[in-house]
Amino acid sequence: MSCRVKICGITNLEDALIACHHGADALGFVFYSKSPRYISPEAANAILDQLPPFIVPVALFVDAQRDFIDSVLVGSSRWIIQFHGNESDAECASYKRCFYKALRVKAGDDISSLVDDYPNAAAILLDAYKEGVPGGTGDVFDWSLIPSELSKPLVLAGGLSPENVQAAIERVSPYAVDVSGGVEQSKGIKSKKKVQRFIELVKTA
């Protein structure tokens, strides 16, 4: 089965529709105010209303307040959630939406046991650990730390780009890949060519 692809850090309708046109399976919207890719709940829900069917919109939060998360989710039943902070499994599950949990990998981590802390997650996303930055760093982590068998579908993230995504898929065989900075022309704005190339490479890997 071919690997799915999520294009994350969507900040405008044009980028969203280009990613869909080229075959993205999911689009990520960053509701973390310190990110250069932050988008307001109102703007994101307005984009979501114009997305074609069969595209999954993903709301990304980093240790956000419940009221804020609710203010996003109320906009559409289509949202699924990527928790990218220190949220517990119980907290993630309490929204009663499909969710997956991002884990930031560093040397020495026992990834299988970290995954076991999230029994309610539909999948696990693995990203690079960088002190003081919760994500979107553009850093690649050591893929050899990923166990060959995981109890959840794996979303691979962290510094992916058209240059390395096929090698990543060959090495890790993830359920899906997730890219943000690697397909940008500037912070928060996607490069049409890189988005198209990235998705082509994923779908032909």
Binding residues for ligand LGQLAAA5, rule: CB under 6 A, are 8-9, 28, 30, 32, 35, 37, 60, 62, 84, 125, 127, 134-138, 157-160, 178-182
74 SS3 class = coil
Please state, in angstroms and as integers, the Cα–Cα distance from residue 34 to each residue in 46, 62, 86, 135, following that order.
Answer: 21, 10, 16, 11
| Distance of closest approach, residue 8 Cβ to ligand LGQLAAA5, in angstroms | 3
**Rounded (10°) CA dihedral 191, 193, 198, 203:** 140
| Known active-site residue 98 | no
Nearest of 184, 137, 165 to residue 12 by alpha carbon: 184
How near is the Cβ of 34 to ligand LGQLAAA5 at its closest, in Å?
8
95/100 with CB nearer ligand LGQLAAA5: 100
Beta-carbon contacts of 54 under 8 Å, excluding residues fewer than 6 positions away, are none
Is 127 catalytic? The answer is yes
Between 81 and 125, CB nearer to ligand LGQLAAA5 = 125
Cα distances (Å, whole numbers) of residue 195 to 74, 82, 140: 29, 21, 18
Tokens of 24: 């993205």
> Which CB atom, from 73 or from 101, has the smaller least distance to ligand LGQLAAA5?
101
Given the complex with ligand LGQLAAA5, which of 121 and 157 has the nearer CB atom? 157
Q: Which residue in the list 3, 15, 92, 127 is annotated as catalytic?
A: 127
Least Å from the CB of residue 84 to ligand LGQLAAA5: 4
Q: Indicate which residue of 8, 15, 25, 92 is catalytic.
A: 8
- Of 135 and 162, CB closest to ligand LGQLAAA5: 135
From the CB of 5, what's the least distance to ligand LGQLAAA5, in Å?
A: 12
Distance CA 142, CA 134 (A): 17
Give residue for tokens 């069969």.
54
SS (H, E, C) 9-48: CCCCHHHHHHHHHCCCCEEEEECCCCCCCECCHHHHHHHH
Active site amino acids:
8, 127
